[in-house]
């Protein structure tokens, strides 16, 4: 396991996993910078927002275009999840390009996407939850999942590995990158989390009577349980809540915030 990620600055700020880069995998974790949105959404926002804070569709499409173009794609190539903290995963193909952008969203919630097709750019959104990217370097299968505490409790990342296997993958050929998310420095949780995650004692720490939780520790343990090799996993060390100049954070900002996105595609 490594924590080797690169922060790029050109043409916009974005983050890549050095492990994925070493295999030439087209992927990125966006920061909050480099887009066209304003106000609480400034500037690379990928979601509409809620309550009185709503960003325009035009801005969101333009921001997808900006991020997709870094990888040689356009907004119309992006397939977006319809996130609801589920463990539902859609296996998609080229006909799903534009889902949630130029085409209607999926008819039901799907917090993960998997494809074997080139040309479709998978995208998950987050602002503290963990964006998990997966890639089978032998069968050239790409996956992206959104794993907040509920998705992590349901082991959506492990379910993605099982789906990869149903498509012919051997887990030892799958590499995984866990992107920027809230870390145990900031993620205070209630005591009930001990009941939610009974098999993950090492994901907890207590300081001054408060309980802190590591989502990435649980996801890593679940991926290992599903046969992913530890040297094939990369965890971004940056905390979305701490790094206010780089990231939106739900814990830090509540609903007055934008939402980031991560992207991955199958190699040409
Ligand atoms: Zn933090």
What pLDDT is attached to residue 234? 97
Kindly give the distance from the C-alpha atom of residue 37 to the centroid of ligand 1, in angstroms, as a whole number: 25
pLDDT digits (tens, 9 = 90+) for 99-133: 999 999 999 999 999 999 999 999 999 999 999 99
pLDDT averaged over the chain? 97
Kindly give the distance from the C-alpha atom of residue 19 to the centroid of ligand 1, in angstroms, as a whole number: 23
What are the Cα distances from residue 154, in Å, to 196, 197, 221, 238?
10, 10, 13, 24
Q: What average pLDDT score do residues 147-173 get?
A: 98
Kindly give the distance from the C-alpha atom of residue 176 to the centroid of ligand 1, in angstroms, as a whole number: 22
- What are the residues facing 30 on neighbouring strands? 14
Q: How confident is the model at residue 77 (pLDDT cuts 50, 70, 90)?
A: very high
Per the document, the length of the chain is: 268
Kindly give the distance from the C-alpha atom of residue 237 to the centroid of ligand 1, in angstroms, as a whole number: 10
Instruction: Please state, in angstroms and rounded to a whole number, the distance separating the CA atoms of residues 185 and 72.
Output: 36
Kindly give the distance from the C-alpha atom of residue 239 to the centroid of ligand 1, in angstroms, as a whole number: 5
Place of tokens 């595609």: 265
Using a pLDDT cut of 70, give the percent of the chain over it. Answer: 100
Kindly give the distance from the C-alpha atom of residue 183 to the centroid of ligand 1, in angstroms, as a whole number: 5
Q: How confident is the model at residue 50 (pLDDT cuts 50, 70, 90)?
A: confident
Kindly give the distance from the C-alpha atom of residue 205 to the centroid of ligand 1, in angstroms, as a whole number: 14
Kindly give the distance from the C-alpha atom of residue 186 to the centroid of ligand 1, in angstroms, as a whole number: 4
Q: What does CATH list as the number for 5-264?
A: 3.60.140.10
Q: What average pLDDT score do residues 83-88 get?
A: 98
Q: What average pLDDT score do residues 25-47 get?
A: 97
Q: How confident is the model at residue 1 (pLDDT cuts 50, 70, 90)?
A: low
Which of 100, 98, 95 lies closest to 76 in space, CA to CA? 98
Kindly give the distance from the C-alpha atom of residue 185 to the centroid of ligand 1, in angstroms, as a whole number: 4
Kindly give the distance from the C-alpha atom of residue 45 to the centroid of ligand 1, in angstroms, as a whole number: 21
Neighbours of 38 (CB within 10 A): 12
- Joined together, the tokens standing for residue 160 give 């993605």
pLDDT digits (tens, 9 = 90+) for 215-266: 999 999 999 999 999 999 999 999 999 999 999 999 999 999 999 999 999 9
More confident residue, 64 or 50: 64
Residues 106 and 95: beta-carbon distance below 8 Å: no
């Amino acid at each position: 396991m490594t924590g080797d990620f690169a922060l790029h600055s050109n043409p916009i700020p974005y983050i890549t996993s050095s492990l994925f880069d070493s295999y030439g995998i087209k992927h990125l974790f966006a920061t909050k910078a480099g887009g066209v949105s304003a106000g609480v959404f400034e500037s690379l926002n990928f979601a509409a927002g809620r309550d009185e804070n709503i960003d325009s569709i035009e801005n969101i499409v333009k921001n997808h275009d900006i991020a997709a173009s870094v990888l040689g794609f356009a907004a119309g190539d992006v397939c977006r999840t319809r996130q609801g903290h589920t463990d539902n995963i859609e296996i998609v193909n080229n006909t799903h390009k534009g889902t949630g952008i130029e085409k209607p969203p999926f008819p039901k919630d799907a917090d993960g996407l998997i494809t074997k097709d080139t040309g479709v750019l998978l995208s998950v959104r987050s602002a503290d939850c963990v964006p998990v990217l997966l890639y089978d370097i032998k069968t050239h299968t790409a996956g992206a999942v959104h794993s907040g505490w509920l998705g992590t409790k349901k082991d959506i990342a492990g379910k993605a590995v099982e789906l990869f296997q149903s498509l012919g993958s051997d887990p030892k050929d799958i590499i995984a990158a866990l992107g920027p998310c809230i870390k145990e420095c900031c993620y205070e949780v209630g005591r009930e989390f001990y009941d939610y995650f009974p098999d993950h004692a090492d994901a907890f720490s207590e300081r001054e009577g408060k309980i802190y939780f590591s989502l990435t520790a649980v996801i890593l343990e679940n991926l290992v349980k599903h046969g992913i090799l530890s040297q094939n996993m990369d965890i971004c060390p940056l905390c979305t809540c701490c790094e206010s100049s780089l990231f939106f954070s739900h814990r830090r900002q509540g609903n007055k915030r934008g939402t980031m996105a991560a992207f991955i595609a199958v190699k040409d």
